[in-house]
Amino acid sequence: MFLDLTCRLAKTLLPLATSSNPPGNVVLTQLQSSEVIGGSREMLNRQLQLWAKGNLVKLQRSHIAVLKPDAVAEIAADFAP
């Protein structure tokens, strides 16, 4: 909870993306994601939009496709305490 929203999002998406079927496809709405990471849906949406513009993720109805898990892992590592 003390981590930055960006880091919390990256750390939440990575395990979900690797364990999903097909890999990288996280079936979670933005509202559900915001509840899991402890942030507002609006802030989560802003971050996901930035990642989508950088082709790290693809936003689709009711799920998030992680296109570049290595890049998301780097984000998680960069913000780690």
Domain boundaries, the chain: 5-78
Q: What is the pLDDT of residue 21?
A: 85
pTM: 0.85
Q: What is the pLDDT of residue 2?
A: 58
Q: What is the pLDDT of residue 57?
A: 96
pLDDT means over runs of 10, the chain (81 residues): 80 90 87 88 93 95 91 84 56
Tokens of 59: 């936003």
Q: Are 8 and 37 in contact (CB under 8 A)?
A: yes
Fold of the 5-78 domain: Arc Repressor Mutant, subunit A (1.10.10)
Provide the terminal-to-terminal Cα distance of the chain, rounded to the nearest Å. Answer: 12
Q: What is the pLDDT of residue 58?
A: 95
CA–CA dist 9, 79 (Å, integer) = 11
